[in-house]
Structure 1
Amino acid sequence: MSSFRHPVGPQKPGVYWRRRATVAGVILLIVIVVVLIVVGRGNGAPAAESSPSASPSASSSVRSSAPSPSASSAPSSGSASASPSASASPSSSSSSSSSASGSTCSKNQITLKPVLDKSAYGPTEDPKIAMSIENTGSGSCHMDLGSSQQVLTISSGEEQYWSSKDCQTGGTNQDVTIKAGQTLTTPAIAWDRTRSSTSTCDSSRPSVTGGGASYHLQVAVGNISSKESAQFILN
């Protein structure tokens, strides 16, 4: 201890004290560095989260399909027969509807015709009935061909026996463009050879007379009716 307090050597004691102070300072600096390294590793600041850049999603362009000449039938509740509605996709843009579809179809440019699969039917055969819609004008036009607008009626003489409207529920509206010279034909639906009325929708219906009886099919869309009916025989 005496040598530590009173350095022994050829030089002055102050030289030895300065050397000891330098060594002690270096040791202290090393200790501080080590402590900082240890503490820094234990309490390291988390890396900053990089916010991902949003990549723009490509917008898909939807094309509107062209009206199909065929039509799909919409079944009516309580009846084996249904009022058909033309299957056609509406215009994708309402603002350009009038220019793309033309004007509203008039009575003068639309011809409706009743369509039958046969002219005479056997005792167990049900008539398949439909209608054709032809644009006889010089330009395209559009009209409502939804099931709420279409009517098929069957009569004999002055008496009406059946109508697709009697028990129809959930009629739809569908604006369809018809090109000049184009004919749309609804799919055939079966008439079950029974009388219809609004009071027989949930009950059995009486069968109509066969044995060579003559009947007529007439069709209409909105305020446009077929000029002629189609005659057929039930045997």
Structure 2
Amino acid sequence: MTGTTPRRRHSPAVYRRRRIVLLIAVLAIAGIVWLLIAQPWAGAATESTDKSDESRSQNTAESLPVPSAPVSPDPSSTGAVEGAVVEGTPTPGATPTAQPCVASELTVEPVTSADTYASEESPQFSITLTNNGPDCTLNVGTSAQSFTVMSGDDVWWRSTDCQSEPSDMIVLIGAGQTVSSATPLTWDRTRSAVGTCADGSRPRAPGGGASYHLSVEIGGISSTEPRQFLLY
């Protein structure tokens, strides 16, 4: 047909550039779709949360360390024991972030291994601590624990009289959590006093059905009610 300008064909280079642009666009769309489906950031977030939870569990109280008493020349006659921190207690030096515990929100109870003891039996004592408030921190180390045995108004034995190498341990106590002594502390049924810790001839507590009471303290918080037991 006359008067019509022939259509010009593009050079091969133009077609190659168009194909490259199209390929890039397809790859970009595929990448976006993969990100939406795979969500690779979710794994990193989960790992971070797991590490945070693990760190928290290491700082959370599971059991209480036991105050230690020096070993006397004749352990069989005095009943002195060495306290130990069991596996599962918080890592010393950890730094919990909750606020310090409030005394009115904690319940501290003395625990005895039995209600009555025969003449050849030595009483064993523990502490139970319950947090009735929110998460909080407390020094539950051996330096903050005290066991006291009384008969009427007469103080017969204090765990702090002969305690060796007391230490601090600040731990996180969860809301509603109850923590107990890792291992009971044994009383040798003798009268304690500073300066008589290695004395195997200390006066022995009377038996025959005599009544005694155990009171405890931890982190500056005392038990509200003593625990009664009988010695025979």
- Flag whether TM exceeds 0.5 (same fold): yes
* Band of TM-score, shorter chain: 0.5 to 0.7
Residue 63 (structure 2) pairs with residue 70 (structure 1): yes
In the TM superposition, 1:95-114 aligns within 5 A as 97-98=96-97, 102-114=98-110
Q: Deviations over 1:88-138 (max 9, x none)?
A: 22575x4xx32xxx210011111100001110111111111111011011x
Query: CA separation in 1, counterparts of 2:148 and 2:197?
Result: 16
> Alpha carbons of 1:167 and 1:70: their partners in 2 closer, same or farther (altered >3 Å)?
same
Q: Report the equivalent of 1:124.
A: 120
Task: Give the CA deviation at 1:145.
Answer: 0.5
Q: Of Structure 1 and Structure 2, which has the larger fraction of its residues in strand?
A: 1
Q: Distance in 2 between matches of 1:222 and 1:104?
A: 10
The whole-number CA distance in structure 1 between the counterparts of 2:221 and 2:84 is: 16
Which of 157, 163, 168 is the equivalent residue of 1:168?
163
CA distance in 2, matches of 1:144, 1:156: 29
CA 1:152–1:82 in 2, change beyond 3 Å: closer, same or farther?
Answer: farther
Change (3 A) 1:84 1:225: farther
Amino acid at match of 2:210: A
Instruction: Give the root-mean-square deviation of aligned CA atoms.
Output: 2.3
Q: 1:177 to 1:72 in 2, by over 3 A?
A: same
TM superposition shift of 1:189: 1.7
Larger helix percent? 2
The percentage of aligned residue pairs carrying the same residue is 35
Partners of 2:67 and 2:203 in 1: how far apart?
Answer: 24
> Where in structure 1 are there 5+ consecutive unaligned residues?
1-60
Give the structure 1 partner of residue 149 of structure 2: 154
Partner of 1:5: none
SS across alignment from 1:148: helix
- What SS is found at the alignment partner of 1:108? helix
Q: Given the two structures, how large is their TM-score scaled by the length of structure 1?
A: 0.65
Q: Which residue is 2:136 aligned to?
A: 141
Cα contact 2:67–2:185 (8 A) shared by 1: no
Structure 2: tracts of 5 or more residues without a match: 1-50, 73-79
Equivalenced residues, count: 168
Q: Check conservation: 2:65, 2:141, Cα contact below 8 A.
A: no
Which residue pairs with 1:40 in the alignment?
none
1: CA distance, partners of 2:221 / 2:175: 18
> 1:84 Cα deviation (Å)?
7.3
Q: Conserved in 2, the CA contact under 8 Å of 1:129 and 1:189?
A: yes
**8 Å CA contact 1:129, 1:188 repeated in 2:** yes
Q: Which moved more, 1:153-162 or 1:62-71?
A: 62-71
Once the two structures are superposed, what CA deviation does each residue of 1:124-157 show, in whole Å capped at 9, x if it has no partner? 11111111011011x1000000000100000010
Between the aligned partners of 1:69 and 1:168, the Cα distance in structure 2 is 23
- SS for the counterpart of 1:71 is coil
Task: Report the Cα distance in structure 2 between the residues aligned to 1:125 and 1:194, rounded to whole angstroms.
Answer: 12
1:217 aligned partner, one-letter code: L
Is residue 213 of structure 2 the alignment partner of residue 216 of structure 1?
Answer: yes
Q: Secondary structure at the match of 1:216?
A: strand
Query: Displacement of 1:222 after TM fit?
Result: 3.4
Cα distance between partner residues in 1 of 2:225 and 2:83: 19
Go from structure 1 to structure 2 and tell me whether the alpha carbon gap of 1:103 and 1:126 turns closer, same or farther (over 3 Å shift).
Answer: same
Aligned to 2:231: 234
Q: Distance in 1 between matches of 2:107 and 2:100?
A: 14
* Conservation of the 8 A alpha-carbon contact between 1:214 and 1:231: yes
Q: Is the 1:84–1:150 Cα contact (8 Å) retained in structure 2?
A: no
